[in-house]
Amino acid sequence: MSTSIPEDLLARIEALPVWRGPIAPRELSGGLSNRSFTVEDRNGVFVVRLGQDLPCHHVFREREIMATRAAHAAGFAPELVYAEPGIMVSRFIHAETYDAQKMRASIERVAAMIRRFHQDMPAQICGPGFMFWPFHVIRDYAHTLRRSDSPWRDRLDGYVELARELEAVQSPLPIVYGHHDLLPANVLDDGSRLWLIDYEYAGFSTAMFDLAGIASNAGYSDEESLALLTCYFEAEPQPHLLHSHAAMQCASLLREAMWSMVSNEFMDTPGVDYVAYANDNLEALESTLDRYRSRYG
């Protein structure tokens, strides 16, 4: 057994009623808000994901469980084999985890997968629908941070005004079911197909936030963003869509930075420096916003 896992967590994992035979959990690196472990027993290899509700981030695990099961039924996510409050156990996928370079090299595959996801997921969703609108999230994060001792409190009015500016140029699009956390590490490639993991923020919205998240999180150039939109819409996008997408990329980076600001107040994930992560995203926002304003004024 791994000695790096706290005894209480190890005991909780070992006590789950799904195992067949002895297990030796191993912690996976990279999670920003959850802890995950691989476990192998006689039935195969699994991922155990630990995470409580996070009201400060609008994350509720019952909804995540529903979305994960829906995504498996639609052919996008590994099978969820067990869930209880605070724990999800899914089948392990032997696959390569994407990074920014792979996201840039796989524009057509990623665009086709996200288009299918947006089209196919609504039929699998059960229960109350959740709406994800990034500009509301940004405003709510500002409300939360104003009640804290956040080092970014003096900047919040500027962030809210920027969000208002970026929201005003969004083009109306059909409502789809989106993933809304398209960091490269949430895309897996098993050699024949792509998979999506982590459905904490999944919900109904327009396609533009997912498309912008792909581009901003992987550092797409303007040419790569144009290729992504062309593949997704199966036609060269009109100027108003390019404008909306460029603005939403800025919103995506602002939301990610403010996510980390709020996390710094309420969360303590081992090995995660939320201040550094917020500053990294603010730096990316600055350069992306400069590019946006040089093009659109």
State residue 1's pLDDT score: 37
Q: Are residues 73 and 210 in the same domain?
A: no
Helix or strand (DSSP H, E) at 117: helix 107-120
Looking at 64, 91, 118, the residue that finishes a domain is 91
- List beta partners, residue 59: 54
pLDDT tens sequence across 153-210 = 999 999 999 999 999 999 999 999 999 999 999 999 999 999 999 999 999 999 999 9
Q: Are residues 87 and 101 in the same domain?
A: no
Q: Are residues 38 and 140 in the same domain?
A: no
Range(s) of the domain holding residue 79: 7-91
Q: Is the pLDDT of residue 2 over 70?
A: no
Q: Are residues 168 and 272 in the same domain?
A: yes
Phi, psi of 175 (to 5 degrees): -75, 130
Q: Are residues 240 and 133 in the same domain?
A: yes
pTM score: 0.93
| Lookup result for tokens 């800025």 | 250
Q: Are residues 216 and 246 in the same domain?
A: yes
User: Exposed e or buried b for every residue in 233-256, given b needs 16+ CB within 10 A?
Assistant: beeebeeebbbbbbbbbbbbbbbb
Q: Looking at residue 153, what DSSP letter applies? A: G
Q: In what order do the strands lie in the sheet with 44-50?
A: 26-28, 35-41, 44-50, 87-91, 80-84
State residue 264's pLDDT score: 95
Looking at 62, 91, 120, the residue that finishes a domain is 91
Q: Are residues 71 and 140 in the same domain?
A: no
Helix or strand (DSSP H, E) at 36: strand 35-41
Q: Is residue 71 part of a domain?
A: yes
Q: Are residues 42 and 107 in the same domain?
A: no
Model confidence at 221, in pLDDT bands (50, 70, 90)?
Answer: very high
* 3-state secondary structure (DSSP) of residue 124: helix
- List beta partners, residue 97: 188
Q: Is residue 111 part of a domain?
A: yes
Q: Are residues 80 and 135 in the same domain?
A: no
Q: Is the pLDDT of residue 3 over 50?
A: no
Computed over every residue of the chain, the mean pLDDT equals 95
pLDDT tens sequence across 90-140 = 999 999 999 999 999 999 999 999 999 999 999 999 998 899 999 999 999
Looking at 91, 126, 161, the residue that finishes a domain is 91
Q: Is residue 34 part of a domain?
A: yes
**Count of domains for the chain:** 2
Angle ∠(242,248,250) on CA atoms, nearest 5? 115
Q: Is residue 269 part of a domain?
A: yes
Q: Is the pLDDT of residue 270 over 90?
A: no
What average pLDDT does the segment 23-33 reach? 84
Q: Is residue 260 part of a domain?
A: yes
Tokens of 182: 């398209």
Q: Is residue 1 part of a domain?
A: no
Q: Are residues 61 and 158 in the same domain?
A: no
The region of weakest confidence among 24-28, 143-147, 150-154 is 24-28
Helix or strand (DSSP H, E) at 27: strand 26-28
Q: Are residues 65 and 134 in the same domain?
A: no
Q: What is the percent of the chain with per-residue pLDDT over 70, rounded to a whole number?
A: 99
Phi, psi of 80 (to 5 degrees): -90, 115
Closest to 33 in 3D by CA, of 48, 13, 53? 53
Q: Is the pLDDT of residue 244 over 50?
A: yes
Helix or strand (DSSP H, E) at 96: strand 96-97
Q: Is residue 191 part of a domain?
A: yes
Q: Is the pLDDT of residue 142 over 80?
A: yes
Q: Are residues 49 and 159 in the same domain?
A: no
Closest to 256 in 3D by CA, of 232, 283, 220, 228? 283
**Residue 247, domain CATH:** 3.90.1200.10
Q: Is residue 145 part of a domain?
A: yes
Distance CA 247, CA 225 (A): 12
State residue 6's pLDDT score: 83
